[in-house]
Amino acid sequence: MDPIALAEHVKAGNVRAVSRLITLLENQEPVGQAALERLNGSPRPAAVIGVTGYPGSGKSTLIDQLVTAYRRQGKKVGIVAVDTTSPRTGGALLGDRIRMQDHAMDGGVFIRSMATRGERGGLARATRGAVRVLEAAGYDVILVETVGVGQLETDVADVAPTVVAIVAPGLGDEVQALKAGLLETAHIVVVNKGDRDGADATVKDLQEWHPRVIRTVAIKGEGMPELIEAIAEHQRIVDLHSKPAT
Ligand SMILES: Nc1nc2c(ncn2[C@@H]2O[C@H](COP(=O)(O)OP(=O)(O)OP(=O)(O)O)[C@@H](O)[C@H]2O)c(=O)[nH]1
Ligand SMILES: [Mg+2]
């Protein structure tokens, strides 16, 4: 495989080339790295959003809602779901696929699951590369889902300038752990499952620690406009800082 041709196909938005290059990067094939190096100079930077949180907090359901909203805005959306190689993986992956099925037929949406292969930090070795590939292929928004099981996961911030941390009500000890670590790296905190008992208390509790707490009911789409606006607002701040002063 010629890395130059592969890079050209990726830049032209060819889905098979995108998929193939990500696989090469996962397998640490030198030709993948060579193609990656040819992707510089994306016409427009993508909005990369990290979505992290404890297993079952509703990350995939929320991402599904975000995809619908961004598609309505006419944006192309890439999703990289990072999974651990733990025994619960099979179920989680299947769940993601089922929930994302509506979007799987949509040419403006690219979905890719990646295994962490035991790597620390919750992010697959190739996640960063996958994000670059999707950006070069013209995806406007790239969502990275990672399983948050503690401070190890905070390196999602290295890949995504905007990090959304999701908590479900009534986690008790886990919320305490979040306060100590993840809240520092999350730009937006979402209390999902707002339809559950204890949601009010969790929101109030977290608001004392974080300036941007949003309550959602992802299964019903409640709170999504607020979340979309909070993400957009944070991205405006990121853009201001990344643009050279004039
Ligand atoms: N009651 C309620 N249930 C929800 C809500 N959002 C998601 N769920 C349910 O919670 C379960 C887990 O949702 P997922 O979206 O798979 O959560 P996840 O964080 O992606 O899970 P993992 O990828 O396995 O870590 C599913 O059964 C969802 O239907 C919500 O707002 N309210
Ligand atoms: Mg999930």
Whether residue 96 is found in the same domain as residue 186:
yes
* Structure-token pair, residue 130: 């996958």
What residue's CA is closest to ligand 1, atom 14?
58
pLDDT above 90 (res 20)? yes
Whether residue 73 is found in the same domain as residue 55:
yes
Higher pLDDT, 123 or 202: 202
Q: What is the CATH number of the domain that holds 230?
A: 3.40.50.300
Whether residue 27 is found in the same domain as residue 72:
no
Whether residue 98 is found in the same domain as residue 164:
yes
Whether residue 98 is found in the same domain as residue 214:
yes
Whether residue 29 is found in the same domain as residue 115:
no
- Counting from 1 in the atom list of ligand 1, the atom nearest the Cα of 91 is 24
Which of 193, 198, 204 lies closest to 57 in space, CA to CA?
193
pLDDT at residue number 120: 58
Q: What is the pLDDT of residues 125-151, one digit of tens each?
A: 688 899 999 999 999 999 998 876 554
Helix or strand holding residue 60 (H, E): helix 59-72
pLDDT at residue number 64: 93
Whether residue 72 is found in the same domain as residue 190:
yes
pLDDT at residue number 88: 45
Whether residue 25 is found in the same domain as residue 146:
no
Altogether, the residues listed in the chain come to a count of 246
pLDDT above 60 (res 181)? yes
Q: What's the Cα-to-Cα distance from 12 to each of 16, 21, 140, rounded to whole Å?
A: 11, 13, 14
- Counting from 1 in the atom list of ligand 1, the atom nearest the Cα of 83 is 23
Of 12-16, 166-170, 213-217, the one with minimum mean pLDDT is 166-170
Whether residue 109 is found in the same domain as residue 225:
yes
6 lines ligand 1 (CB under 6 A): no
Q: Which domain holds residue 11?
A: 1-40
What residue's CA is closest to ligand 1, atom 28?
58
Whether residue 88 is found in the same domain as residue 198:
yes
Higher pLDDT, 80 or 184: 80
Whether residue 51 is found in the same domain as residue 159:
yes
Whether residue 175 is found in the same domain as residue 155:
yes
Tally of structural domains, the chain = 2
13 lines ligand 1 (CB under 6 A): no
